[in-house]
C-alpha cells in the first residue's frame, strides 16, 4: 500500500489530537481549498443548461482530500506545516470507496469530455504549473446532497515534527500521541532530515 504524506499545523492541538485518535482526515469541498481557481473548467460544446446545472450539483457534493508523495520536503513544511512548527504525517489510506487521482499540472484549464459524474475526475486532477512541486495525490468521493462534513479514513504510521518545534513542545506532543496509540512512530526532525532543495 502506497505511503503518502500530509503536512499539518498543530496550532489547534484539540483538532490534531482528534485526528490522531480517529485516524480520519477532513475532506473539504473544492470551494474550501486554498487555490482560488480550484475546480475551474470549461464545459463541452453543446451541453445544455440543465446538464450544466446537474454537473455543478455533483461537483458541489464532491469532497477531496489532498496528500503528497513528498516526504520531509522543506517547501511543503513551510507552506502547510506552519513554517516548520508543524508536522509531516506518513500514512496509508484505508478507505475503500474513494476514488484516487494523481494531480496533473498544466497551463490549460480543462475542458470536460462529458457533463456527467465520470468527468469529475477531469476537474479534480488538474492544477496549474504553479503547484507542480507538490506531487499531489487526491482522494475524492461524491455524496448525495447533504451538508455533513466528510472524512477520509487513514492509518497513521509516523508523525515527524518540524525543526522549529521546541524540545518542550515535542515532548508534549510525543507523550500525547503515545498515550493514544503507542504504535505511531514520533520523530523530531533535524535540518539534515529535510530536503530543502539544495545540492548535497
Percent of the chain beyond pLDDT 70?
99
Range with the poorest average pLDDT among 34-43, 100-109, 144-153: 144-153
Cα separation values, 124 from 17, 19, 31, 167, Å: 29, 24, 12, 39
Torsion of CA 54, 55, 56, 60, to 10 degrees: 100
Burial class (CB in 10 A: 0-12, 13-18, 19+), 182: exposed
d(CA 192, CA 160): 13
**Do 107 and 129 contact (CB within 8 A), yes or no?**
yes
d(CA 188, CA 170): 7
d(CA 84, CA 101): 28
**Do 31 and 39 contact (CB within 8 A), yes or no?**
yes
d(CA 47, CA 16): 44
**Residue 21 clears pLDDT 70, i.e. is over it:** yes
Residue 129 has a CB neighbour count (10 Å cut-off) of 9
d(CA 41, CA 113): 11
* Stretch (H or E) spanning 168: helix 167-180
pLDDT at 36: 86
pLDDT at 200: 64
d(CA 58, CA 52): 10
Cell (9 digits) for 13: 492541538
Give the side-chain half-sphere CA count within 13 A for 66. 21
Range with the poorest average pLDDT among 56-65, 139-148, 178-187: 139-148
Amino acid at each position: 500500500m502506497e505511503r503518502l504524506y500530509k503536512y499539518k499545523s498543530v496550532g489547534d492541538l484539540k483538532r490534531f489530537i482528534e485526528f490522531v485518535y480517529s485516524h480520519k482526515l477532513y475532506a473539504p469541498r473544492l470551494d474550501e481549498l486554498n487555490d482560488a481557481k480550484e475546480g475551474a473548467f470549461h464545459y463541452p460544446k453543446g451541453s445544455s443548461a440543465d446538464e450544466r446545472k446537474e454537473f455543478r450539483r455533483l461537483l458541489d457534493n464532491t469532497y477531496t482530500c489532498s496528500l503528497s508523495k513528498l516526504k520531509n520536503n522543506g517547501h511543503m513544511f513551510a507552506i502547510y506545516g506552519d513554517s516548520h512548527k508543524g508536522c509531516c504525517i506518513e500514512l496509508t489510506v484505508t478507505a475503500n470507496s474513494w476514488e484516487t487521482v494523481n494531480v496533473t499540472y498544466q497551463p490549460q484549464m480543462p475542458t470536460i469530455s462529458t457533463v456527467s459524474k465520470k468527468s469529475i475526475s477531469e476537474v479534480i486532477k488538474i492544477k496549474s504549473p504553479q503547484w507542480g512541486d507538490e506531487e499531489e495525490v487526491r482522494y475524492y468521493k461524491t455524496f448525495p446532497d447533504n451538508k455533513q462534513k466528510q472524512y477520509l479514513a487513514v492509518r497513521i504510521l509516523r508523525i515527524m515534527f518540524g525543526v522549529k518545534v521546541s524540545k518542550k513542545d515535542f515532548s508534549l506532543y510525543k507523550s500525547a500521541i503515545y498515550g493514544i496509540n503507542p504504535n505511531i512512530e514520533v520523530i523530531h526532525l533535524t535540518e539534515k532530515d529535510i530536503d530543502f532543495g539544495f545540492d548535497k
